[in-house]
Structure 1
């Protein structure tokens, strides 16, 4: 669990003055301490990224630090897209829940109903609920394949072949009895969603999320994210010399990790979801109801209790990473305080939790 952020002096030397000069986003005034917290953190920890704090639909503070492209010195802004990593699973779950709400899918129907060609023994036991909560028992064969052969990331396969290769193994445990964070689950979800809707996942994201909320820098990609216009490029490190880091996403892995978004868009997306602009209140409650308590895992995202300002708050949250990208988003469910932190330089995820905690605390002052 992310823990309270503490001032750490003496560990890092202050970075070059150019870091402060590259803070390109406007600073809002409603969170009085946020700027001081973010600037101190960026200087001491060599943070390269974007931070945003808001309440309800109002952005109270947003600022960017550093560069999106070291070769051109293009600066980051609050509209710069980043890979969202595993937040993509939360996005995918929103799309699935829209189809459930419309009566096209059921969370608890055996997936053999939707994929009769899938192996019958597994298909009669698995459901969308167990797949999206990582309680299915489907082995993580896609990650194992990538470890054996990294070029698997560049494969382009249709759903049938992807499922056959990477999501058809013997179940590790009876569905619903245990937990295993398996990316292979989402290959099955993609096959179901596209078959039943008759649309590509990219089209569904555009129609259900991007267009209704007028998101300007969000969408689905496969291959290298560097092809996305304006993308924050990924780096293993920026100093002393930039070291690029790019981990492509296969076309069949887009639900697991193929969403990109900006800080402004991710904030708008969270506010749209919890303001009822995307799903009904009942459907949103189902989306965020914890299925695996030990992991605080709901359907594609997490709901957990965190202490802020002397009070425990239920928080919808998720953290995403792929290669160099780190993205964290929190939204309190009782009073709609939000924090977004985005990074493109392989930053320590615990320190990102420190920063998010400090900013959330500051949002209550």
Structure 2
């Protein structure tokens, strides 16, 4: 349902912050055209705009707030890469070691060829058998498997190509990566995320989940269309897919995380550089995320960029690396991903507008 722009400007006023004059009308117009979710903009020093639009849940009705939690889809892969880089700093994992070093039971013909780096860049050649299995039987998402069983079942097929030579966006990579980080540390992935990111950065609405997203307190429910139409579109995430899509957060927490990573409070500067260095140029893909040069406000700016979707959920985060200007967009109603990209572009440009 499209709502008058003036109405949207009124309904969010109790749940919004604005110091970016152009941002409010841009966001409100998107909400009038069907956007339902949270928008946050930072100028690299402070939040200059944040607002929430629509409903987070229905029956009982729960309005969206700027602190509403969202599953982040593939942005979880970038989180996993940050965790991996921290473990590399600690000497527990090496990006250039074969995965057989950490998983001695993995099929040797592939395990001696695939490097950890290949997993993080979707260049391993390990076929995406997990996505095939989910398409054939959606109940695959409800399976409870330990690392070894999940790897054997969905991530140990014959290599489709020589590792490091091609690109294949394979979720199987992250099933293997989970086995590696947990085997190398003796800790669960959830514990690693808490110890490396959540606790040090003071994240209040973030963590690792399995099962239905709506079972998490404060999480938005996914809907196809609008919440008022009650067409739910949220899916369970199995625990063995935690690194591929099992991270949840709020917009303020995601900004804290970005601030922490790029201020070298999580990783050393050299590790941040490696994290964001593009390995697959055609896809702008670095380690678990993307780095792109975008024309923003009349200048070419290097942007750390990641987008995640799962069911109806859409989460986008852009960070200008040089100065910290950031846009975060979170949606729970299957909003068109191209329109989210256009919205983020307009907001990022607006963040550079001089004060009135």
Report if aligned partners of 1:57, 1:271 keep a CA contact under 8 Å in 2.
no
Give the structure 1 partner of residue 16 of structure 2: 27
1:14 corresponds to: 3
- Quick one: distance in 2 between partners of 1:22 and 1:257? 32
| Cα distance in structure 1, aligned partners of 2:287 and 2:323 | 22
In the alignment, is the contact (CA less than 8 A) between 2:18 and 2:50 conserved in 1?
A: no
Provide the C-alpha distance between the structure 1 equivalents of 2:17 and 2:194, rounded to a whole number of angstroms.
30
Cα pair distance change 1:25/1:61, threshold 3 Å:
farther
Instruction: Find 2:281's aligned residue among 293, 296, 321.
Output: 293
**1:175 matched to 2:163:** yes
The answer (yes or no) to whether the contact 1:314–1:334 under 8 Å persists in 2 is yes
Aligned residues: 353
* Helix, strand or coil at the partner of 2:49: strand
Report what 1:200 is aligned to.
188
- Whether the 8 Å CA contact 2:327–2:344 is kept in 1: the answer is yes
* Partner residue in 2 for 1:166: 154
Inter-partner Cα distance in structure 2 for 1:20 and 1:148: 45
CA shift in 2, pair 1:205/1:172, >3 Å: same
Q: What is the CA–CA distance in structure 2 between the aligned matches of 1:24 and 1:202, rounded to whole Å?
A: 36
- Contact 1:224-1:249 at 8 Å conserved across structures: yes
Kept in 2: contact 1:25–1:64 (CA 8 A) = no
1:19–1:40 distance in 2 versus 1, CA, 3 Å:
closer
Residues 1:15 and 1:166: Cα distance change in structure 2 (over 3 Å): farther
Mark the runs of 5 or more structure 2 residues left unpaired by the alignment.
none
Alignment of 1:19-98 (within 5 A): 22-23=11-12, 26-43=15-32, 45-98=33-86
Q: Does 1:328 align with 2:316?
A: yes
Pairwise CA distance, 1:256: 0.1
SS of 1:357's partner is helix
Q: Choose the corresponding residue for 1:350, options 325, 334, 338.
A: 338
Contact conserved, 1:324 with 1:345, CA < 8 A, in 2? yes
Partner SS for 2:41: strand
Taking structure 2 as the reference length, what is the TM-score of the superposition? 0.96
Mean CA deviation greater in 56-65 or 92-101: 56-65
CA RMSD of aligned residues (A): 1.5
Q: CA deviation at 1:36?
A: 1.1
Report the CA distance shift for 1:316/1:244 in structure 2 as closer, same or farther (over 3 A).
same
| Partner of residue 231, structure 2 | 243
- Identify the residue that residue 231 of structure 1 maps to in structure 2: 219
Q: 1:191 corresponds to which residue?
A: 179
Is 2:107 the partner of 1:109? Answer: no
Q: d(CA) in 2 for partners of 1:287 and 1:139? A: 24
Instruction: Say if 2:270 is the partner of 1:282.
Output: yes
Q: Distance in 2 between matches of 1:239 and 1:267?
A: 26
Query: Matched residues in 2 for 1:274 and 1:296: separation?
Result: 19
Residue 240 (structure 1) shift:
6.2
Are the counterparts in 2 of residues 339 and 359 from structure 1 also a CA contact under 8 Å?
yes
Kept in 2, the 8 Å contact 1:25–1:78? The answer is no
In 1, Cα distance between the equivalents of 2:302 and 2:82? 19
Asked whether the 8 Å contact 1:27–1:35 carries over to 2, the reply is no
TM, length-normalised to structure 1: 0.94
Kindly tell me: are residues 165 and 239 of structure 1, through their superposed partners in 2, closer, same or farther at Cα, counting changes over 3 Å?
A: closer
2:295 corresponds to 1:307: yes
**SS state at 2:47 partner:** strand
* Structure-1 separation of matches of 2:18 and 2:194: 33
Determine the structure 2 residue equivalent to 1:6.
none
Question: Cα deviation per residue 1:189-218 (whole Å; 9 max; x = unaligned)?
Answer: 000000010000000000000001101100
